Structure 1
Amino acid sequence: MKSIVDQSHDFLKDVLHKGAICIDATLGWGKDTDFFLKNNVRKVYGFEIQQVVFEQTVSNIKDSHFVPVFDGHQNMDAYVKEEVDAIIFNFGYCPGFDSQVKTNPKTSLEAIEKALYLLKKKGRMALVIYPHEEGREESKAIEMYLKKLDSHAFYIEKRTQLNHDHSPYLIGIEKLK
């Protein structure tokens, strides 16, 4: 069985093409950005707030289609001025770095709302959620927000492991109109 991150990539792959604009809303070590770039997209914006992680990842990704942004994902609308085909978030903290720096409900919800606005019709967004102890509040807030969205405007699905309470899970969103 594929990991949740691999499943998120599978979900997004159908909307990737040579002209695609993408956002890696939680850049970290750049795994999702690499996925987008390997699919020959036109542009990938990558948002990161931890300077050491940002600098190391930017130095490792040598691609003119990559637009690194040292800022929080809740500010994406200040940098992205075009419709977007695919967006990915990995909520929680950057693995292998400071686990005290993590996403939080307030800025995550603000970022999701802005991302939904930027997403083009038939565009897709993947939310990879890690409901660790502190992340449970964030995951509940995200789900409560998404449940209120118009089902005629957004198709939203959830993929989870039923027999493991705190396993990572995927919420896939497609903008219908």
Structure 2
Amino acid sequence: MQTVSNVLKLMHMALVPVLERAEVVVDATAGNGHDTLFLAEHTKETAQIYAFDIQPQAIANTKARTAQYAARIHYILGSHEQLDVQVPGQLDAVLFNLGYLPGAEHTAVTRHESTKCAVKQALAKLKVNGIAVIVVYPGHPEGKVEADMLAAELAALPCRQFTVGCYRLLNHPQHAPYAYLVERVKASQA
């Protein structure tokens, strides 16, 4: 099995140390529930998980996949733009796996406007040493716009408060998925 070519699996591995002590985590794009299940399997029983998606089928798929953890998962049929309202307090980890619902019509995709808003909210709520993972898919038109927007937004974050990394496969096509890893290293100045 290849390891370095599966961007999402590498990002999952980066999240594990944070998830082991996490109290509040967010799957900002629940999709078919694979990421929500990963979060549930790697957090303690008292952790609260918030899973967002705008598509009823995605929430149904996520509920079915994560049924054994349902008591601590909040399934939210709505945009990740509602993160501020739906998730109280600070976040230990947040995962954005952007794009479209695998196996569904590709007309329903994440949009750069809502993603920009949700990422800003998530980063504002991120605890010190908390991590945000953002996987982008520049292989479709909106995905390219979204990826470019995130590159600009994340590069502009103050380095005294955040460390931002990008994992990209250099010998793969430019439209291959890649990921950002953002860690809050210092609290915001009030």
Q: Decide whether aligned partners of structure 1 residues 18 and 176 sit closer, same or farther in structure 2, where only a CA change above 3 A counts.
A: closer
Unaligned runs of 5+ in 2: none
**Which residue matches 2:151?**
143
TM-score by length of 2: 0.89
Identity %: 29
Q: Does 1:27 align with 2:30?
A: yes
Mapped partners of 1:123, 1:60: distance in 2: 26
The alignment partner of 1:97 has SS state of coil
Deviations along 1:76-135, one digit per CA (max 9) or x if unpaired, are 111111111110001110111121000111000000000001111100010011111311
Choose from 59, 76, 91 the match for 2:83: 76
Structure 2 distance, partners of 1:54, 1:14, is 27
Distance in 2, matches of 1:18 and 1:126, equals 17
Counterpart of 1:58 in structure 2 is: 63
Q: Is the 8 A contact 2:31 2:61 kept in 1?
A: no
Q: Which amino acid aligns with 1:30?
A: G
Q: What is the CA deviation profile of residues 52-77 of structure 1, one whole-angstrom value per residue up to 9, with x for unaligned ones?
A: 22123223322211111111001111
CA distance in 2, matches of 1:4, 1:72: 24
Range that drifts further, 114-123 or 12-21: 12-21
Matched, 1:169 2:172: no
Report the counterpart of residue 166 of structure 2 in structure 1: 158
Asked whether 1:117 is paired with 2:120, we answer: no
- The equivalent position to 1:89 in structure 2, one of 96, 99, 108, is 96
Post-superposition shift, 1:33? Answer: 0.8
Please list every run of at least 4 consecutive aligned residues from structure 1 whose deviation after the TM superposition is greater than 4 angstroms: none
| Cα separation, 2, equivalents of 1:50 and 1:117 | 26
TM-score normalized with structure 1 length: 0.95
C-alpha displacement at 1:18, in angstroms?
5.1
